[in-house]
Every structure is written in C-alpha cells, then in structure tokens.
Structure 1
Amino acid sequence: MTRLPTDPAANLSALIRCVSVTPAEGGALTALQAMLEPMGFSVERPVFRQEGTPDVENMLAVRGTRGPHLAFNGHTDVVPPGDEGDWRHPPFSAAVEDGEMFGRGAVDMKGGIACFVAALARLVEKGALEEGRVSLLITGDEEGVAINGTVKLLAHAAERGHRFDACLVGEPTNPDALGDIIKIGRRGSLSGLVTITGAQGHVAYPHRARNPMRVLPAVMEALQGVPLDEGTADFQPSNLEWTSVDTGNRAANVIAARVSAAFNVRFNDVWTGETLRAEIERRLAASVAQADGFTVGVEWKEPVADAFLTAEGPLTRALAGAVEEETGRRPELSTSGGTSDARFVKDFCPVVEFGLVGRTMHMANERVALSDLESLTRVYETFIARWFAANA
C-alpha cells in the first residue's frame, strides 16, 4: 500500500528543496502531484500565457464528483532568497535546527500547502473524506505579476464545470502565534504611474527649460495631502503611497523633459477600483491647473483588486471553531494586511485565509516551527471535517 503524505514536515521538506523562485515551477508541482495522486486526486497542470509576461504552470487537483465542494488555494512560487551568505542554512535545503525548518517558502507558503495535504491524507486514511469534493488550486504566479496564475486558473476550472462552495487560502495570516488571526477580507489594490512632462534643457540655462521636478511635489501633495477616507467599521483607512520616482536622466548637467512617479493605493470598501481612479484623476486635473506649461497624465497598471469582506457563515464558523479547538486561542477576524490571491477567489465563492505565523516571510532565514506545522495540520483536518458536516 502506498504511504500517504500524512507528515507535514516531510511534505514541506520536499517542497522547499524545489527551487521554484517565481515564476519557475522548479519541480514543486511535480512533488505536490506525487503527494495527491495516491489519495485519488486527478491532476491538471495548465500553463497560462500572456504577451509581455512569463509563462506560468499551475495545478488544478480534484477529488470527488458530487456533494459540497471545498477548495484550497495557494502558491508554490517563492521570492528570491537574496544573498545566500545571510542564511544560516542554504535557502533550499530544508535544514532543521532547534525544532525549526529553514528554507525559502517555509511559511510563505509551501508550509500551508504541506499542512493541508497532510490533513487530507489523515482524513483519507480514516475514511472520513468519502463524501463531497475537494480541489486544490495552486499557482506559480502569486509572488510575481499575478496575471497567469490564480485568476486564469479559476476561469479554467469554471470552464470545466467546477463550482466551489467555499475556499480556504493558506497564506501566513498569524503575526505572532498560530491562532491569532483569520483573514475574512482584504483591502483593494490599485497601482498607477504619474508622468509630468515639461521641456528638456541645460541646467545652466533653466529659463530655457521647464523642469518637471519642480512640479512633482505639488502633484504628489494633490494625491496624498488629503486623506482618501477615515476607514470603516471593517477596514482601516485607504492609503496612497509613492513607491518610485524616475527621470530616466543620467546626466548631471541636463534638466529632464519628464519625470514619472509610481504609486500604489490600498483601499477599503468606500471605493471601487473605478471610483478610486476617478477620484485620483480629479485630483490630478486640479493639480494640472496650477502647473502652467506642463502636462500631467496617469497610466493605470493591472491587475486591479477591489476590497472584499466575507460574511459570517458556515465557512467562518467552521474555521474559527477549528482554530480554537486545536490551539486554544479565539482568532481575531481581520481585514488587515496586504493583498493575496483571495482577491480573485472572492468572485467565485466565499473565501477566508488562515495559515502559519508570518514573522520571517520574505526574510533571510525564513523558517517555521515543526510544532506549528503539526498544529496547523490538525486545524486544517478539524476545519475540513467541520465544514463538510455543516454542509452535508
């Protein structure tokens, strides 16, 4: 009899050893497929493409043909490890020291996938997963541009007739201890590039040029000076942050003809992507009126994600109950933090997020306590059983 992948540490070790720096598959989906097929999952690995972006391999794994349908969403791609000299152990070695496993992706988010697979395996061994359907939607594009990943994988699944009743995203949601936070929503994300155009000239003869850098502070103030909102009962205030400024000019004696400044807005449910774009364009138009001789334009970047909030129901109750039962902690239901691929899932079914402690994600020496892997596996196992019982 084939041994099922019931050990989350062994699952994670196999995944970490795959060098799947975004958007490379690196063997991670192959390793995951080998874990899932002995449990009766049928596996597809579609590759999605879009001009100007790298091809991305994804996975849709499905078990069961009828009954309530629970999905799990995650990603096997990881951010680059940075300078390997900053690591105590090689970043793709899955070394264990003092009860912790080191490796890029340990918590973000190969660890969550490893635990969910182990939870499924334990339920299969018990014969407790015979009714209902379970799907895993795994991408290699979450840490990248998020164009050829989950958003297209969901459409791919829908085209094949799959309809999901609920989804759990295994991102690392806990700031300090397992059981701190369940994410029930996220703020939206909107990115843009403002370009101010003047006239190039010699720095010794500024009267013959129009320096766009002189106008930039006023344009920035127009967008950022007045708060977008004060927040809501469920979300913190929206915030616009400037992320880069560039003239493309490398000469010390030249006034550049144009300057571009990139920004990102994390916004709450006061706004939609459409209404927020209109507000920013209105503020830019007002700033142009005070910038005689200059033009100011904005280029919007994709993708745009609206804010969302998952209402209390069987999904949130099953997860919160499982967390409290297995950790002894009553989790906070939160909308804090950045974005995740839950922003795409929410268009198909209710979605919540719960995973490991994220203190070391994206850092050198990213690591996870082996005890947390076991605890999260038990949470997932209890959650799956509770959710199917509530939806029988």
Structure 2
Amino acid sequence: MKQTYLLLFCPLVIACQTQDVPQQQAGTCAPDAYAQHPAHQTYQAELVQYRLATHAPGSVMRIVRPGEAIWQGVAGQSNLEHQTAMRNCDQFRVGSITKMFVAVAVMKLREQGKLSLDEKLAQALPGMAGKIPQATQITIRQLLSHTSGIIDPPNAGMTYQLNIVSQAAAHYNKTIDQLLTEYVYGKPLQFAPGTGFSYSNANYWILQQIIESKTGKPLQSVLSEVIFGPLQLNNTYLERRDDRNVVRGYADLYGNGTLFDVSSWDRAEDDGKAAGGIISTAADLTTFLSGLFGGKLLSAASVSEMIDSVKLPACPNGDCEYGLGMEKWFTGAGIAYGHNGGSVGFEANLLYFVENKGIFMLYKNNGNGSDKRLMDRLMK
C-alpha cells in the first residue's frame, strides 16, 4: 500500500478556490540555491519533467547521499492564485509520512518503559471496551502495523469524504473521539486482529489517544520532545496553525485539466491528526529520516523492528510490505524504507535506500497519483 487516495468532488467551485493571501517569510530559500551541484542539470531536468507529467502546479525534490553534496530543487508554483514560485524552504503537508513520526514516538515510549507494543487496546484505553470489537485482543503493535482489522473511514464509503467536501470547517473542528464515534465505534472489524492487513487512518487516530493518555501531553508536545527538538526540525509541526505560508493543494476535479484549490479539504482531513497532519519542509523531512536511521532517535533494535514488515498469508508473496509505521518499497534502485503521503491536493514521498544509505524526498501539490520511477534512475 503506497498511497491512500481521498476521492472528493467539489459541488461548489467557489468554495474550492477560497484562499488566504500568503505571508512573506524571512530567510534565503532561492530556487537556484543548489545550482552549483555537479548533478544539478540532470536532477533539475528530471524534476521539471516529473512536474509536467503529473500536471502539478509545483514540485520539490531533495536527494541526500553520504559523501556527496546535498541537492534540492523546485519547479513551478506553490500558489496559483498569487502566481507564487515554489521555494526551497516552503512548508507543505506531508500526509501519511506523519505515521512514521508517530511510530517513532510510540517506540520511544516503549524504550522508556511507558508502554508495551503487546499491550491490548482495552488496557491502554479502557474506554475502548465495548466501542471497538475485540478491543481486548487488538494490540498497540497491530495498530502500528495496520493489522488490527479496524476500518478506514476514508475508504469505507462516501459519507466521510462527502462530509469533508460539504462541511470542511465542521470536520476540521472535530476531535479524534468525535471522528471515532461517527465513523469507527460499533463498526465490525474487517478481520480478526493479527490475521490480515488493511491500511487504516483510524489506527493512528487511536495511537494519538494512547500517546496522549500515556504522557498526559498533546501529541505535538510529545513529537517536539522526542523528534522535533532533538533534530532541530524548526519548520515542522503537527498542531493546527495559520497555514497561509503552507503550499496550496490542487486537484483536477472534473478531469478536464482545470485545477481547483482544495487546501481547505486537505486541512480538514488531516491537520492536527496523527494519521497525516504534519507540515514540514524538504530539508526537515530528510533530516528526520537521516536521524532515524543514524541512531539519533531510537536504538538500532527499535529501528530494525520498525522496518521488519508484516508477514501474512493474505498478503502478496506473504509480505505485507509494511512494518511499524514504515513502508517497504522494492525499487529499481534497491530496497527502500519510508512512507508515501497524499490527499486530494498533494502527494509526498520520503524514502531511505538501504544499499547506498541515500534519502529521497519528492513532493507535488496535485493529489493525483504519480509515476515515481525517476527515483530508480537517481538513487542508484
């Protein structure tokens, strides 16, 4: 499972086009900041072609390899209404890449002795008993690995999606418990816990509640203590903030090549939530993955456990290609670990390549899926 799609339809075009005027940011983040890199022309040409092929207003790519200079490039625009060029320091929504951050927080709490991955849901959150079937059997490990059987509201029918379209502001203001009450509680499991794999954002909504219950702190504070602070990710956050500086998201709603601003839907879907709410930059994302695989956040044993994908007969070839908040990718450049993220208005990818220890980050502000084989060429 490499991307979750939120298929939305805009009943009122003007609502999709409402935008805030972007504010100016201090600092240097020129689009040509990496022009002196030896491979700049090759990398930039690949990025431009990717943007054009995906019909995205703008795109960002960052490549990090040990022993080589970091390269980053941008193409196109971050805001069509204001004709704002994409910049190297722009912040954007990362979608389900957030799940890796949340999984790291859970693993850190496990290292600190504050929870066990085999702890049952009903033990961690006693109020779940009677609300989620087999809450006495579902474990924290199964929530992390999407083997709990709990349904995924965005893909369980059109109600969830249509509510975001028609009631974006109301959906944005709902608490995690309100979302679970409306879309998850009382619904039958898709399979007995631990017997199957099915990607579900609800797993990570529940993990957010567990983290906050175990620590007595909001998830933003926990992520700041465990990840953002130690790695100095000063442009990364989960909490809901004024998002005028965030890259706008777009979608071709009618398949005719006309792009509509759907940022309000992206905001309502994920902001503040553990399933996909982080806002970050290309530099911060690669710093995070470098820190994770470089031993700055967790023990080697914990990282190894995160990347060990679930093996089940129900999965193709017995490999579900998902560990604990971490996807396993089989690419033309070798095995990579990381996560894809996407919503109706954007797609993001963050991967660590095992063989050469390289890190690849790719983002575009159009929510359609994309051919990402350029990384096979660039990361060999």
Q: Same fold (TM over 0.5)?
A: no
User: Is the strand fraction higher in 1 or 2?
Assistant: 1
TM-score range, shorter chain: under 0.3
TM-score, reference length from structure 2: 0.25
Larger radius of gyration: 1
Structure with the higher helix share, 1 or 2: 2
TM-score by length of 1: 0.24
